[in-house]
Amino acid sequence: MKMRFPIVLTALLTVFAVCGARAQAPLSPDPAKLRLASANVLVLDAQSGQPLYSKGAEEVTPIASLTKLMTAIVTIESGLPLDEALAVDMDDFDYLKGTRSRLTLGATLPRREMLQLALMSSENRAASTLARNYPGGVDAFVGAMNAKARALGMTRTRFEDPTGLSPNNVSTASDLARLVRASAQYPLIRDFSTTPSHYVEVQPTGRLLGFNNSNRLVSSADWDIQLQKTGYIREAGRCLVMLANVASKPMIIVLLDSIGKFTRLGDAQRVKYWLETGQTLPLAAAFGYKAPAAKSAKPRAVVKVKGKAPAAQNSRSSRSARAGGA
């Protein structure tokens, strides 16, 4: 009798271990249960490279400000000093779409701040300024963007400008997954693209401007986003790419050509729910879904701290992001 108890206990522990392993096993959700409003979609396991869901992932389509991920890569790989002051010029104004910006003529910021605003708030003048101050100017910068795309195997991608305002900046969901994977290798891109809000001190006036992230999901406690970029022009629709930890695994999510202001956010939420549960979130959740907003819509008074820019809290969104390119 005494000999049987250890045997029985061992058997029970083995059963519990097997059940626990099954409970912790990664989900293999059924693609038929995921219905999304975005026209072109790819959901990819970032570790294995296995696509879990694909919809029009090889179709070439305009990509709007998703372009700025490549703008950031070329800027960082140039090795140009990040503390070098760059000034907005007339050539950085948007004469194609007429988008606005609070970075006025002559506004001067370090290259690092221009890069952060381009990624975080989809600031078009910041992206243009980065390209214009590249050796050889904008043409050489765009050439470097296309060369990098070829090096990454993005065979169906072409860039015509550094902002994404041109509808001739095109790619596929599959190619953009490659771009997300490559961008994630740069800590600055991961950090800048997921910062919820940020203040900059614009020279020569010393004026403080607050900017919010163009993707409100980065402020949601329900999401663990490692990298993201939004995009919008009329020809591209609403676009979103993310590298996020979902169901304890890093996932690349590409959503292109979403109609409606909140559709891409709703689709992202339904992808997350599907990965976590294997079930379908009602289609209505894609329309009118609103991600958690910032705690307050009004910026507080700013107190300058010598040698350190104040953290941005409750700042207004960049007008350029609302007007286009985000």
Q: What is the largest CA-CA distance in the chain?
A: 91
Residue 120, in any domain of the structure: yes
Q: What is the distance between the alpha carbons of residues 210 and 160, in angstroms, rounded to a whole number?
A: 30
Give the catalytic positions in this structure: 65, 68, 122
Strands (E), 111-205: 170-171, 197-202
Q: What's the number of domains the chain is made of?
A: 1
Is residue 76 assigned to a domain?
yes
Query: 305: which DSSP letter?
Result: B
> Does residue 19 fall inside a structural domain?
no
CB-CB neighbours of 85 under 10 Å? 14
What integer is the mean pLDDT of 36-52?
Answer: 96
Any domain includes 7:
no
Residue 1 has pLDDT above 70, yes or no: no
Q: Residues 141-163: pLDDT tens digits?
A: 999 999 999 999 999 999 999 99
Instruction: List b or e across 128-161, with b for residues whose CB sees 16 or more CB atoms inside 10 angstroms.
Output: bbbbbbbeeebeebbebbbebbeebebeebebbb
CATH of the domain at 289: 3.40.710.10
Q: What range defines the domain where residue 59 resides?
A: 28-323
**More reliable by pLDDT, 16 or 130:** 130
Whether 211 shows a pLDDT value over 80: the answer reads: yes
| Domain annotation covers residue 142 | yes
Interval 66-82 mean pLDDT: 98
pLDDT over 70 percentage in the chain? 78
- Supply the pLDDT for residue 292: 43
Predicted local confidence at residue 55, as pLDDT = 97
User: Does residue 117 lie within any of the structural domains?
Assistant: yes
Domain-embedded: residue 13 = no
Residue type, 246: V
Q: Is 78 exposed, middle or buried (0-12, 13-18, 19+ CB in 10 A)?
A: middle
Residue 255 β-bridge partners: 41, 240
- φ, ψ for residue 253, nearest 5 deg: -120, 120
- Quick check: is 3 in a domain? no
* pLDDT tens for each residue of 238-289: 999 999 999 999 999 999 999 888 899 999 999 999 999 999 887 655 444 4
